[in-house]
Amino acid sequence: MSAAGFLKRVAQVLEDRSAAYGDPKTQMDAIARRWSITLGTPVTAQQVALCMIDLKLARLAHDPSYADGPIDVIGYAALIPEIIRGTRS
């Protein structure tokens, strides 16, 4: 798959996940609130996205052939500017 085709696939996955789970910023905020309680320390939506990227990278290190791994890494990275904009608006 070409780089352009790969990015189109990532965009489609982001649209599909948004349709299934709602606004990504809202979801990351909800996860951050839960993780803050679980960890006993404040967690931001941006940190959630970064931790999810790290999780996906760890899984890819275990199985580099997993096709959805790179899509998920790029997808979470693409959400970070949205999350940041959402906190400043």
* Residue 13 pLDDT: 95
Residue 83 · residue 46 · CB < 8 Å = yes
pLDDT digits (tens, 9 = 90+) for 32-84: 999 999 999 999 999 999 999 999 999 999 999 888 899 999 999 999 998 98
Whether 5 has a pLDDT exceeding 70, the answer reads yes
65's tokens: 């052939």
Amino acid at 45: A
Whether 88 has a pLDDT exceeding 70, the answer reads no
Q: Which residue has the higher pLDDT, 88 or 40?
A: 40
Q: Which of 56, 45, 33 has its CA nearest to residue 80?
A: 45
- CB within 8 A of 61, min separation 6: which ones? none
* Residue 71 pLDDT: 94
